[in-house]
């Protein structure tokens, strides 16, 4: 309710929809449209201490990383402000990729 009220007030009074955009990003963080993103490794890599050979298919599960306290403070709370530019340093750039990460 509080977030909805802030978003409504912003739409009514501004051309930039900073808070609305943050609400959309936060919604997609908590309910990503893509469950996972997968890629083949171009070269071998060490993941969590394991050597993974090149050409191995690896996947990142967005619902898990998006709710991990390692990447987001209070990860189960709806906090749109975490997406403001001034808070960019507080989040990992790839911790929430709700639509996957391109082809």
Question: Number of structural domains, the chain?
Answer: 1
Q: Tell the residue number behind the tokens 């911790």, with chain if given.
A: 95
Q: Is 103 a domain residue?
A: no
What is the domain extent for residue 58?
2-90
Per-residue pLDDT reduced to its tens digit, 44-97: 999 999 999 999 999 888 889 899 999 999 999 999 999 999 998 888 888 888
Q: Is 19 a domain residue?
A: yes
Q: Is 100 a domain residue?
A: no
Tokens at 50, concatenated:
């394991």
Please check the confidence at residue 103 and state whether its pLDDT lies above 60.
no
Q: Is 101 a domain residue?
A: no
d(C-alpha 103, C-alpha 64), whole Å: 21
Q: Is 56 a domain residue?
A: yes
Q: Is 67 a domain residue?
A: yes
Predicted pLDDT of residue 61: 87
Is the CB of residue 94 less than 8 Å from the CB of residue 29? no
Q: Is 54 a domain residue?
A: yes
Q: Tell the residue number behind the tokens 């996957």, with chain if given.
A: 100
Q: Is 59 a domain residue?
A: yes
pLDDT band at 101 (very low <50, low <70, confident <90, very high): low
């Amino acid at each position: 309710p509080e977030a909805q009220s802030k978003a409504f007030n912003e739409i009514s009074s501004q051309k930039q929809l900073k808070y609305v955009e943050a609400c959309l990003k936060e919604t997609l963080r908590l309910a990503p449209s893509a469950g996972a993103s997968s890629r083949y490794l171009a070269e071998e890599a060490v993941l969590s201490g394991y050597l993974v050979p090149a050409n191995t298919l690896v996947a990142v599960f967005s619902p898990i990383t998006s709710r991990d306290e390692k990447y987001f403070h209070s990860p189960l709370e709806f906090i749109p402000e975490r997406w403001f530019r001034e808070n960019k340093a507080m989040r990992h750039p790839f911790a929430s990729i709700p639509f996957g990460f391109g082809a």
